């Protein structure tokens, strides 16, 4: 199944509709988004503007990249320790 990617402005407009009084069922039918996704977006991005949402997503991507870098370095350190112990 194809995973839809919504940009920050789309998510912001969907959340404004939801806060404007439109029911979650109507929005989910029109936009092709599950109700659970709507409520998760509301919990995560509620009250934010599109620019703030974009910044949050950028920070999350950077955080994931840094975590991968740390994991790689930790693994290399373990390998180096193993090699040094084996030689001694």
pLDDT tens for each residue of 15-69: 999 988 899 999 999 999 999 999 999 998 888 888 898 898 899 999 999 999 9
Residue 70 pLDDT level (bands cut at 50, 70, 90): very high
Q: How much is the pLDDT for 74?
A: 97
Q: Which residues of 10-41 are buried (b: 16+ CB within 10 A; e: fewer)?
A: ebbebbebbeeeeebeebbeebebeeebbeeb
State the residue for tokens 């790689």.
72
Phi then psi for 34, rounded to 5 degrees? Answer: -75, 160
Reading the block at residue 71, the tokens are 């994991």
- For residue 27, give both structure tokens: 């929005």
């Amino acid at each position: 199944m194809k995973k839809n990617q919504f940009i920050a402005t789309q998510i912001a407009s969907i959340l404004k509709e939801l806060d404007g009084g439109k029911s979650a069922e109507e929005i989910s039918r029109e936009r092709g988004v599950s109700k659970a996704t709507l409520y998760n977006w509301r919990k995560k991005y509620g009250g934010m503007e599109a620019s703030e949402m974009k910044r949050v997503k950028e920070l999350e991507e950077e955080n994931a990249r840094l975590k991968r870098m740390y994991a790689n370095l930790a693994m290399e350190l373990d390998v180096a320790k193993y090699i040094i112990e084996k030689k001694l």
